[in-house]
Amino acid sequence: MGKTYWMLVTTQENLDITRARGFSMQGIDTKNRKKAVRMGPEDRVLYYVSDKKGFAATATVTSESFEDDEPIWKHHREQEKFPHRVEIDADVVLDQVNYVDGYQIGPTLEYVKKWAPDRWPLAFFGMLHIIPQRDFNFVEGELRRAGGIQAPVANTSEPEDPPVADLNGLTERASTKRLFSASRKSRKSSHRRRQAKRR
């Protein structure tokens, strides 16, 4: 199965907790158990901060979902422990002053077309949503623009590298390994051409 693109609706307090933990893990509430158990490696997560009405970050899931009752995040119901969890790596993380305005971006998303134009905020109710890849890529592009980050060079032949994190501001993936891999691939190709000439 291909990767799934998720929008995770959270509060600033809980996003700060995730950030303080190095964007290493994300918990999902019990109401979204059926969706949470579908999360797996290479899925992407877009963070929307409900009390700030802004998009704040993206991350990549690095593990299968699992359950853990360690109290980490806050909820108005004390018994809610966000027990359905996945390990993650941060991709783009903005400071609060740079959040992308949900009221400017939200109504343009394909995902919200299921709702009447004047009721699009209803699309953001609940913690976890599956969204189209096009929406995810568009918002992530806006996050990069807001943070002054250049888009990474596309590379379809090599796996993505682990992220290099600067969690006080922005987070970007390293490209050194990709450059090395591309160079190694080029050397292999020229070796094959020399072999062909000898034949």
- Our CA angle for 91, 137, 92, nearest 5°, is 20
Say what the pLDDT of residue 155 is: 57
Domains of the chain are 5-198 (3.10.590.10)
Say what the pLDDT of residue 121 is: 86
Using alpha carbons, select from 52, 145, 28, 155 the residue that is nearest to residue 101: 52
Say what the pLDDT of residue 110 is: 95
Say what the pLDDT of residue 94 is: 97
Say what the pLDDT of residue 33 is: 97
C-beta of residue 84 within 8 angstroms of C-beta of residue 32: yes
Say what the pLDDT of residue 160 is: 53
Split the chain (199 residues) into runs of 10 and give each run's mean pLDDT.
Answer: 91 98 97 97 97 97 97 93 97 96 93 87 93 97 91 58 49 39 38 45
The model carries a pTM of 0.75
53: left (phi over 0), alpha (psi -120 to 50) or beta: left
Q: How far is Cα 26 from Cα 177, in angstroms, rounded to an integer?
A: 27
Say what the pLDDT of residue 176 is: 34
Say what the pLDDT of residue 2 is: 74
